[in-house]
Amino acid sequence: MHVPNKHGRKSRKGVSFFHAIFSSVMIFFLFSIIVSFTALPAAGDDKHDNNERLSIILIDGDEIYVRSGNYYTLLQDYQIHVKGANSEGNRVWIELRRDDVFLEDAIVGKGDTFVYSNNSTEILNLTVETIYGGASGVLVKFSPVYQYLDPKLPAPQTESISPENSSDNNSSVSPVSKNQAEGFDIPLFLLSIGAVLLMTGVFAGIYKKK
């Protein structure tokens, strides 16, 4: 009659327990990778949204006309003045003001671009397309004209950036996306822990039967 080897049985139990622990660690590792990759796209989207909020376009490629001695009022009370022209009528002196306060000026010709930035934030970008000469002075056509929101000033009440539209855009970002953007998703983490415990129990039960 064959007598069971108790030492061998204990050895197999030890090996089985080791396999159960090893399997549980591997499952936990896989779930950790899933959690990490789930958080990465959300973080990228959040960064993209921040960039969009920092570059809200007020004037998008429009054209404006300004006669010498006059000015054109842009949004947020910026004003572009045409102070005069040279004798040939091919270059003009323009000046940017806000609330009658001088900001910047330049001498530009046809095809030149005037850019104004405030603390490294671009506010105005306009190109001189044509300079029309006449007996009473010159008429300057600026095109395209781009103006971006100055975050330090009150936002103009226009349809494109009205408070209602801004609140709608903010509400489209779900709380789950915000949690994922921070790199931590509590429900998914708890789910992974539960799965690890479940699989540990399953493996332990299988090896115990063996």
pTM: 0.51
Does position 181 have pLDDT exceeding 50, yes or no?
A: no
The three-state DSSP-derived secondary structure of 54-104 is HCCEEEEEEEEEEECCCEEECHHHEEEEEEEECCCCCEEEEEEEECCEEEE
Query: Range with the lowest mean pLDDT among 10-24, 131-145, 176-190?
Result: 176-190
pLDDT band at 102 (very low <50, low <70, confident <90, very high): very high
Residue 76 shares a structural domain with residue 39: no
Considering the domain boundaries, does residue 62 fall inside one? yes
Residue 48 shares a structural domain with residue 126: no
Provide the domain count of the chain: 2
Are 195 and 27 in contact by the 8 Å Cβ rule? The answer is yes
Q: What is the C-alpha end-to-end distance of the chain, expressed in Å? A: 22
Q: How far apart are CA 37 and CA 199, in angstroms?
A: 22
Residue 43 shares a structural domain with residue 81: no
Domain end, chosen from 98, 130, 148, is at: 148
Considering the domain boundaries, does residue 49 fall inside one? yes
Query: Range with the lowest mean pLDDT among 112-126, 134-148, 183-197?
Result: 183-197
Express the helix, strand and coil content of the chain in percent, nearest 5 each.
45, 35, 20
Arithmetic mean of pLDDT over the chain:
74
Residue 142 shares a structural domain with residue 82: yes
What is the extent of the structural domain holding 119?
57-148
Rg (CA), the chain: 34
Considering the domain boundaries, does residue 103 fall inside one? yes
Residue 103 shares a structural domain with residue 61: yes
CA 92 to chain centre: 38
> Cα dihedral sign for 63, 132, 82, 122?
positive
Considering the domain boundaries, does residue 203 fall inside one? yes
Considering the domain boundaries, does residue 162 fall inside one? no
Residue 86 shares a structural domain with residue 144: yes
Residue 67 shares a structural domain with residue 143: yes
CATH of the domain at 86: 2.60.98.40
